[in-house]
Chain A
Amino acid sequence: MHIPDGFLDLKTTITTAVASAGGLGYGVKEIRRKLGDKHIPLLGVTAAFIFAAQMLNFPIAGGTSGHFLGAALAAILLGPWASLLIITVVLAVQCLGFADGGITALGANIFNMGIIGGVLTYYLIFLPLRKTLPKTKRGFLTTSAITAWASVFIASIIVALELSISGTSPLNVALPAMAGVHALIGIGEAIITSVVLVGVINIRPDLIREYSKPEEEA
């Protein structure tokens, strides 16, 4: 759901860019406070993995494709603010290096996928579910899969809102269309996120922040 140049009006462009910059500013402080030296390469390699996985468009119904987003996975692995930073790096590389996503929409794309898909979904979906569901591997994976699905679904709704505020497509048209197709893409997101988490649990479960740390710290 990388927005190209031309879809958003000036006020939406500026508002989302300011929100993203603010989020990143706060995020940097949180990362500095909560992560240590061993996380440095993990941040880099998680960003690289997400970049690679985002190239892999998978077909969904009706001549449409979707691809992995990775914001929920990164938030579960390294925390929501590290996720925002990672998504920002990926989006910036894609925009500047590969002409994917407009440069005027970069702030909005960071907002939609990083702040909504990564940070908001973490606090809104992941943490409450984590507290509710059993503290087992299955409970953790269920929580993660639902969070992954929701990250794509909710972000697509925000994109629809931005399109309608910008006068690009009316809300009653954009919202059902975006939410409908991304409800399907979200299933792919949930599957990929689960597969990766199962893989990491099998080799280094301690590297998953949300899997290993004591509950109170959340």
Chain B
Amino acid sequence: MGNNVKTFIFISLIVALILAIFISPFASSSPDGLEKVAEDKGFIEKALEEGVWRLSPIPDYAFPGIGNEAIATAIAGLIGTLITVIIGWLIAKLIIIKK
């Protein structure tokens, strides 16, 4: 990996973290396209109140136990972005590395 690629990776990760930590608290909380259609067309109640998987550590992008909504979202963004880069990197490594 050239030094230049390292710089690129670093910059990209910083941009992702800035988005996830500092911009995400300002995201619109309106329902998204599918949710809105489900509400308007009267099938939103078919969604299970609680999902089948109930072990999510950070449900709905709000780190639990933090009163300040913006901070709870920012921490969720930070953790999610780091977890995703680690998992993505590891899986790519498993697939691509040739012996």
> Which residues of A are in contact with B by a Cβ distance under 8 Å?
1-7, 28, 31-32, 35-53, 55-59, 62-67, 85-86, 89-90, 92-100, 102-104, 156, 159, 163, 168-169, 173-174, 177-178, 181-182, 185, 203-204, 207
Counting chain B residues whose Cβ lies within 8 A of the other chain, the interface size class is 35 or more
Q: Which residues of B contact A49 (CB under 8 A)?
A: 12-13, 15-16, 19
A65 touches B32 (CB 8 A): yes
12 intermolecular pairs with C-beta atoms under 8 Å apart: A2-B34, A31-B95, A48-B12, A49-B19, A55-B77, A66-B32, A67-B32, A85-B91, A98-B80, A102-B53, A181-B36, A207-B5
Partner of B47, one of A4, A46, A89, A181: A4
Most buried by A among B2, B47, B98: B47
B33 touches A35 (CB 8 A): no
Interface: B66 (CB within 8 A): no
Q: Which of B1-59 contact A (CB under 8 A)?
A: 1-2, 4-5, 8-9, 11-13, 15-17, 19-20, 23-24, 27-34, 36-38, 40-41, 43, 46-48, 51-53, 55-59
B34 touches A90 (CB 8 A): no
B33 touches A63 (CB 8 A): no
> Which residues of B are in contact with A by a Cβ distance under 8 Å?
1-2, 4-5, 8-9, 11-13, 15-17, 19-20, 23-24, 27-34, 36-38, 40-41, 43, 46-48, 51-53, 55-61, 73, 76-77, 79-93, 95-98
Partner of B43, one of A65, A94, A169: A169
B93 to chain A, nearest CB (A): 5
Partner of A5, one of B48, B73, B93: B48
In the bound assembly, the distance between CA atoms of A40 and B61 in angstroms comes to 27
Q: Which residues of B contact A63 (CB under 8 A)?
A: 30-31, 36
Most buried by B among A3, A5, A51, A66: A51
B1 touches A41 (CB 8 A): yes
B44 to chain A, nearest CB (A): 9
B28 touches A59 (CB 8 A): yes
Contacts A5-B52, A49-B16, A95-B53 hold; do A57 and B91 have CB atoms under 8 A apart? no
Partner of A159, one of B34, B55, B58, B98: B34
In the bound assembly, the distance between CA atoms of A47 and B48 in angstroms comes to 28
